[in-house]
Structure 1
Amino acid sequence: MHPLNSPSARPRLAFVTGGSGFVGGRLIGQLLDHGWTVRALARSAPSEARVRALGAAPVKGDLNDEQALREAMAGCEVVFHVAAHFKLWGKKALFDRANIDGTRNVVNAAAATASVRRVVAVSAAAVVMGDPEPMVDVDETLPLQRRAFAPYSSSKGEAERVLLGANQVRPDFETIALRPPFIWGDGMPTLDEMVETVHAGRWQWVDGGRQAMSSCHVDNLCEALILAADHGRGGEAYFVADAENTTLKGFISALLATRGVSVSDKAVPFGLAWTMAGLMGAAWRLLRLEGQPPITRQMLRLIGKPFTIATGKATTDLGFVPRTTMSMGLAAMRRASQPATSP
């Protein structure tokens, strides 16, 4: 039996950032199921209501207020840093402020809080992506990359450096990063955007969607986060993913099918898409257009080339086993999309 599930185990106190979001909300539920007591950072009244409904104690504040973070962490054993700015387009300063400065504030606050022994943060598999090229079965030996066209993954990479660089700033203080690829599951916000793009007639497969990809169901990620709280090695990063790899077209088509949406086979070569994305990005910046371009180089780097990861290190160190399969996750999404029926 896992020590967290022991009836005699004393409840443990965790602090979660991003608790009102897709991943953070699921993490709160899993922590509670494992016997933890949870506090969660909330920036707004709706966020407070959301985390309270999930069973966590909301703490008003944001990632920019280190003093508020310290007060919120008092008495907590583990900090789970989930909050991040994830967009496929935007100013570098916005990504850096939320992802790099926010992580620095969380780490500094945790290191200054005597009760906190470990910070476990959600990084991203994309931190090792450089120029667009196939990457198959990559592992943690690859260096972090930084590219001007990829402000999200570049900022996450720098945030990881900040996080792991703080490992053992106190002898009893450790920091760990988990690197999931494409995160999915019922309630995933990006699926709404995909459905809208298909309905607008703007969907095209890059290179026919044949590229291999790894994914990570949100429940598998949350389980890995909890395992890392006890079994991860301080100062280390871990790739975590589902047991099965798939292809972009096969996987995204299956996700859209849970909403009853089908996609045509219309496709565009990667090279043409990359050129179009560069031109669109230049136009958006020059003309200061609202919203984001229909296609961006950050998006193409994430999905446009084969990208699969190896999770052997997480298996060995954490005891990580991805229990939610592709079929299980898709079935749950189909059930969640069904209209409620009257009793």
Structure 2
Amino acid sequence: MTAAASSSRPPRLALVTGGSGFVGTRLIVRLLSEGWQVRALARSVDSEAKVKSLGARPVPGELNDEQSLRKAMDGCEVVFHVAAHFKLWGQQTVFDAVNVEGTRAVVNAAAATTSVRRVVAVSAAAVVMGDPEPMFDVDESLPLQTRAFSPYGSSKAEGERVLLAANGARPGLETLALRPPFIWGGEMPTLDHMVETVRAGRWQWVSGGEQAMSSCHVDNLCHALLLAADAGRGGHAYFVADAERGTLKSFISSLLATREVTAPDKAISFRMAWIAAGIMGVAWRRLRIKGEPPITRQMLRLIGQPFTISIRKAQAELGYTPQITMHEGLSAMRKTQPKFAGAYAQHGERRTSVAS
């Protein structure tokens, strides 16, 4: 194809769910920079304003409303399903309403919209986490897991089942899932919460923080999402992560340092933390205490044991190579530190929003 013919090709059109959130905003910017036109599902006036400011066209609608989803998808080639409900505490039904039923509505709408060729969804590495135990270099051969103490991970696992089962729901429709571990980068809402916890004097390292972990910079995830628009096999899931691995303490300490915050060396054993989290969980449920317990078993399952993943399948089938190194990502966060100092008071609740 000549350069002239290539330049005359109409822009590709995508729909992004969760476009006003941490991952969604970065994805919209990346898509636009690659020449895509972007629509973004918007649940509120604030969300509409946010995605519009990025250059996307906001489409009012609810994630569980198949009719509004079909309208939003009409004419779109690819749907990037990023929206999710992520908290460390809550009722299973609340997680399922977004992470399972929301995904079901997305794939049902895509199956009814003939223009959609692929639905690429952000799943989670947590979908393979069962009972708490060390897990090293895990790959996609492991089965999905659900546990009562992990409503987030369980809902993401069930949502992924729904997504991948819809592959081929109509001729030409493919569905793929990407499974990132801990997602990080500039403006990450979780860091606001960690900074607040340290400053409040409530920080403790589980198992001394020496457990190995994998992470995924938000730009590496967005890179993988764009690759998955054209590469990879429908009906398959792919782990994606940074090239480097570290320990929980070394990595989180580096993140806190971008805000000029240092966590104390106080530590608690995994066993004691697990018992304490169980007691707190019972108390919060029976006494109907507002807010989240200081520590939950879901949190401990996510970060309390060694967990590293293999990206070999994504490398082989998506052509994935991490684009951002740990050093580059941390340096960028340090440069923007003054902008976000004390941001928890303003943005702390963002980590509980539907937009990932």
Normalising by structure 2, what TM-score?
Answer: 0.93
Three-state SS of the structure 2 residue aligned to 1:320 is: coil
Alpha-carbon deviations, 1:192-244, whole Å to 9, x = none?
00000000100000000000000000000001001001002100000000000
**Cα shift readout 1:1-34 (whole Å, capped 9, x = no counterpart):** xx9xx64543100000000000000000000011
Alignment-mate amino acid for residue 205 of structure 2: W
Q: Find the counterpart in structure 2 of residue 50 from structure 1.
A: 50
- Any idea what SS the aligned residue of 2:229 has? helix
Partners of 1:232 and 1:58 lie apart in 2 by: 29
Identity %: 72
Q: SS state of the match for residue 38, structure 1? A: strand
Which portions of structure 1, spanning 4 or more consecutive aligned residues, are displaced by more than 2 angstroms?
6-10
**Equivalence for 1:101:** 101
Matched, 1:74 2:74: yes
Q: Deviations over 1:245-274 (max 9, x none)?
A: 010000000000000000111000000000
**Aligned ranges for residues 103-142 of structure 1 at < 5 Å?**
103-142=103-142
Alignment partner, residue 214 of structure 2 = 214
Q: Which residue of 2 aligns with 1:193?
A: 193
The reply to whether residue 289 of structure 1 matches residue 285 of structure 2 is: no
- Write the deviation string for residues 70-97 of structure 1: whole angstroms up to 9, x where unpaired: 0110000000000000000001110000
1:153 and 2:156 aligned: no
Offset at 1:338? 2.7
Q: Name the aligned partner's letter for residue 192 of structure 1.
A: D
Counterparts of 1:46 and 1:92, CA distance in 2: 27
| Counterpart for residue 255 of structure 1 | 255
1:231 alignment partner, SS class:
coil
Counterpart of 1:22 in structure 2 is 22
Q: What is the identity, as a one-letter code, of the residue corresponding to 1:97? A: A
Q: CA RMSD in A?
A: 1.3
Residue in structure 1 matched with residue 333 of structure 2 by the alignment: 333
Report SS of the residue matched to 2:148. coil
Distance 1:65 1:318 in 2: 31
State the alpha-carbon separation in 2 of the partners of residues 299 and 333 from structure 1. 24
Identify the structure with bigger relative contact order (alpha carbons < 8 Å, sequence gap 6+): 2
Letter in 1 for 2:181: P
**Matched position secondary structure for 2:105:** helix
Amino acid at match of 1:104: R
Instruction: Show the counterpart of 2:36.
Output: 36
Aligned amino acid, residue 71 of structure 2: E
Task: Look up the SS of the partner of 2:277 in the other structure.
Answer: helix
Aligned to 1:165: 165
**Distance in 2, Cα, partners of 1:247 & 1:36:** 37
- The amino acid of 2:84's aligned partner reads A
Report the residue type matching 1:108 in the other structure: N
**Structure 1 partner of 2:63:** 63
Q: Please state whether the residue corresponding to 1:196 is helix, strand or coil.
A: helix
CA distance in 2, matches of 1:8, 1:58: 26
AA at the equivalent of 2:160: E
Whole-angstrom CA distance in 1 between matches of 2:9 and 2:269: 56
Q: Does 1:205 align with 2:172?
A: no
Letter in 2 for 1:298: Q
Specify the SS of the correspondent of 2:41.
strand
Distance 1:126 1:92 in 2: 15
Which residue is 1:225 aligned to? Answer: 225
For the residues of structure 2 that align with 1:267 and 1:176, how far apart are their CA atoms? Answer: 39
Count of aligned residue pairs for this structure pair: 337
Q: Deviations over 1:267-298 (max 9, x none)?
A: 00000000000000000000000000000000
Match of 1:312? 312
What are structure 2's unaligned runs of at least 5 residues?
Answer: 341-356
Alignment gaps of 5+ in structure 1? none
Cα distance in 1 for partners of 2:8, 2:313 equals 31
SS in 1 for 2:177: strand
Three-state SS of the structure 1 residue aligned to 2:313 is helix
> CA distance change for structure 1 residues 339 and 32 in 2, over 3 Å: closer, same or farther?
closer
